[in-house]
Each structure stands twice: as structure tokens, then as C-alpha cells.
Amino acid sequence: MRPNDVPLRRVTDFLSSMKLTLACLGLLMILVLACTLLQVPLGTHIAVERTIRSFLVWYTPDWSPVRLPVFPGGGLVGGVLLLNLLFAQFLKLERSRRKAGLWLAHLGLALLFIGEFSTALFQVESQMPVEVGQTKNYSEDTRQMELAVVDVTDPGKDTVTSIPESFLRPGAVIETPSLPFKLAVKRWYDNSDLGMRKPTDPPSEATAGVGPNLSISEAPIVTSDDAQNAAAALIEPVSGRDGLGTYWVSNALGAPQGFVREGRTWRLVLRPRRYYLPFSVTLKEFKHDIYPGTDIPKNFSSLVRLNDPSAGEDRDALIYMNHPLRYGGKTFYQASFGQNDQLSVFQVVRNPGWLIPYLSCILVALGLLLHFGTKLAVSLRKAA
């Protein structure tokens, strides 16, 4: 039996083959192109989720009841390319000084892939809108909702129980030790049309809060980057056999809703998912400079007070374009502004792997310089 016939050998041969490299590069190009074009109808987030950050690209044709996998996704192609790179590197590429540049470049590239996988897995992005003078200790993810059940009996301290969006499915009954009642989910809409109920409309399903005066119907999800879905849920808190009223909650509703039970006052709010920070940020000043005689923005900057009693930090920090604040494993970027320059919005990003790309860029750049530099020197010597 020749070594080539060993099944394991065949697998490693395939995994380290240059054909596979070329196939993956080609597929990746198609994926990147598709991802770019799909951003026009779908918005960046969804387009990336469906093409790059998935193992298969799914498509549901009009005639088909099930969705069909039509193309390998970025996760699959990237993963195979990473394997291919490592196998080719360790099985085929000679370990010589002549190839040192290629070694560096390819290892750097592998690191870059690992970095992107880590980003896909661990990166959490959220926003923090702060008004001048306001102090905040949480950021929000506007793409995910949570149902907050807040005990506001004690005026000095709110006790919050938050239920992630994924639990809010019609028919679900949510029980948790921190609440003395259950929550029955009657309806859930990812996006909805809200309006005041007209006399001719069918009666509202809600019996308490602002719901009875509203007409709420399901609406198609919006995906473009600057649009916001108005999620809505019909919730009935239940204690034993007693219903405590049925409430429509939505992130598009501002009015507080709630009930009193056994001497405690409860509020129900559907709101963007919050990430609480172990420290607080106070916006002291926001600046929005423009070039004279134009409306071209020249600079945005936010002066904040960072207060972290547990670490003994209490200091000012300036967040401006290209100069984020990195603190407590999170990075705060100047992202937007509003309310006549009285509101500053920070992008808050937690990405434990943020240094990986920096390292891999240096490796690849050095490797390519070394490799092509040597080759150029050789060909110049030949030409001379």
C-alpha cells in the first residue's frame, strides 16, 4: 500500500492542497461581493449575519416551504481556509530561511482569522446616549429587547428583573424566584404599528395600563441601519389563579405602566437590552465644531467624568474622533449626537480580542516585506 492510499493521508493531502486554497479564496470573494450588494436592501448588520457570520447561506424561494442552503457561509469558508493554511504550512512549506517571510505572513494571517472568529463570538456592541449633566451606568443594545419588571416601592432603590427577548414567545409562562408572580406571554411582535384605538377598531386585548386605548398590529421587520423596530408584547402577570391585568408593552411606549400587589409597586417596561457597568459615566460637556462659513463638521468631543468607586478612579476623560476611551474592558467611542448638541451618543464595545488584529497585521506586513524584498533583490541582481 502506497502512503497515498492511507485514508488519513488523503484527508491531509486534501486539506493542505493549493486547489482548496484557491477554491476558498474564490468563494470568499463571492461572499464578500454578495455581502456588499446585500447591504443595500438588508442593511449592514443583517447582510453580514446572513453571509459572513454564518456557516451556510440560506435562501427561501417563493415556492419553497423550507429554507435551502445555497452557498457556504463565511464561517465555513473561513474555517476551511484556516485549516488549509495551517495544514499547508506545517506539512508542505519547507522550514528554511528562504521561506521565513512566508511563514511569518501566513501565521499572521491565521491569527487574523482567529481574531475575526473571536470578534464574531465575543464582541458585544451597545450604545450609550447621555445628556449633558446626566450620569449613566449602563449601555443599551437597540437591536435586542428585554422585559424589565421593576419593583419601585422603595423610592431610593429600584430592583430590576430583566427577561431577555428570547424568552418572550407567545404561550410562554415565565417564572423566576425574584418575582412573586408569573408572567404569561400572550403575544410577541418583532415590529409593530402602534396607534390610538379608534371607536371602530376591534376591542384591545389589553385590560390594564395604556393598552386598552391602543391599537397594535404586527408589522414587517425593518433592517436598515438607521431604522428602529417597535417591538411589542402582550403580557399578563399571574399570581396563583388571579390575573393581574393584561398589558401591552413596547419600546415605542413612553408612559409608565404597572400595578400594586401586596403593598409593592411594580412597573413593566419593554426596553432595549441593558448592559450594566461597574462604573458610571457623566457627560460634562459636548462640543460640535464646524468649519467657518460651512456646515461641515470639524470635530465632535465629549468631556466625561469617569467614576469607579471599586477601583478608586474618579477622573475626567475626553472622548473625541479617533480617540476612544478604553476602560474596564470596554471601549467608548464618540458615535453620534442629538438634541441640539445636548446629547452625546457613545458606541460601547467589549471585544476581548481587539489586540489580535494589530499583532497579526504587523506579522503579515513584516512577512510580506521580507519575502518580496528578498525576491526583488534577487531579480534586480539578475537584471544588473
Partner 1 sequence: MKKGQRPPLGAFWAAFAAALACAAWPLLAPAPKTEFALAEAARLPVLEGGRVKPLDSFARNALLLIRGTQSLPDGRREMSATEWLLEAMFKPEAADTKKIFVIDDPDVLGLLGLQQSERRFAYWQLEGKRDEVGQQAQRAEKVESSRRSRFQNAVISLSRRLDLYEQVKNTIMVSGSSDPVQELAMFSEALPGALRAVHSPKAASVQDRAAMKALAELLERYRFLARAAAFRPLAPREGEPDDAWKSIGEAILQPNGRPPHPGLEAYAVMARAFRLGDASAFSSAVNEHLGWLASERPADARKARQEVLFNTAQPFISGMALYVAALLAVFAWWGTRRPWVAGAANGLFAGAVVVHTVGLVARVWLQGRPPVTNLYSSAVFVGWVAALLGLFAERIHRKGFAVAGGALLGFCTLLIAQHLSASGDTMEMMRAVLDSNFWLGTHVVTVTIGYGSTFLAGALGITWVLRRHFVSDPDPETTKALVSLAYGIVAFALLFSFIGTTLGGIWADQSWGRFWGWDPKENGALLIVLWNAFILHARFAGYARERGVMLMTVVGNIVTSLSWFGVNMLGIGLHSYGFMDKAFYWLLAFGVSQLLLVWLGFLPPRFWAVETD
Phi, psi of 2 (to 5 degrees): -75, 150
The yes or no reply on residue 166 touching partner 1 (CB under 8 A) is no
Query: Which residue's CB is nearer to partner 1, number 44 or number 144?
Result: 44
Q: What is the DSSP string of 108-130?
A: HHHHHHHHHHHHHHH-EEEEEEE
The yes or no reply on residue 115 touching partner 1 (CB under 8 A) is yes
3-state secondary structure of 149: strand
CB 150 within 8 A of CB 160: yes
The yes or no reply on residue 14 touching partner 1 (CB under 8 A) is no
Contacts of residue 133, defined as CB under 8 A and 6 or more positions apart, other chains included, come to 282, 283, 284
- Site residues for partner 1, 343-372, by CB under 8 A, read 347-349, 351, 354, 357-358, 360-361, 364-365, 368-369, 372
Query: Which residue's CB is nearer to partner 1, number 26 or number 164?
Result: 26
The yes or no reply on residue 282 touching partner 1 (CB under 8 A) is no
Rounded Cα distance, 206 and 268, in Å: 13
Q: How many residues bind partner 1 (CB under 8 A)?
A: 62
Count of C-beta atoms within a 10 Å radius of residue 361: 14
The yes or no reply on residue 44 touching partner 1 (CB under 8 A) is yes
Q: How far is the CB of 112 from partner 1 (least distance, A)?
A: 8
Q: How far is the CB of 88 from partner 1 (least distance, A)?
A: 10
The yes or no reply on residue 29 touching partner 1 (CB under 8 A) is yes
Q: How far is the CB of 264 from partner 1 (least distance, A)?
A: 40
Contacting partner 1 (CB under 8 A), which of 321, 329, 338, 339? 321
- Site residues for partner 1, 211-270, by CB under 8 A, read 225
Q: How far is the CB of 332 from partner 1 (least distance, A)?
A: 8
Of 301, 348, 351, 307, the closest CA to residue 140 belongs to: 348
Which of these ranges, 29-37, 60-68, 213-221, 235-243, lies near partner 1 under the rule CB under 8 A?
A: 29-37
- Three cell numbers, residue 10: 488523503
Contacts of residue 7, defined as CB under 8 A and 6 or more positions apart, other chains included, come to none
Q: What is the DSSP string of 32-63?
A: HHHHHHHHHHH-HHHHHHHHTSSSEEEE--TT
The yes or no reply on residue 293 touching partner 1 (CB under 8 A) is yes
Rounded Cα distance, 323 and 282, in Å: 18
Q: What angle do CA 188, 189, 194 make, to 5 degrees?
A: 120
Which chain residues interact with partner 1 by CB under 8 A? Answer: 18-19, 21-22, 25-26, 28-29, 32-33, 35-37, 39-40, 44, 47-48, 52, 112, 115-116, 119, 123, 125, 225, 290-294, 296-300, 321-324, 331, 333, 335, 347-349, 351, 354, 357-358, 360-361, 364-365, 368-369, 372, 375-376, 379-380, 383
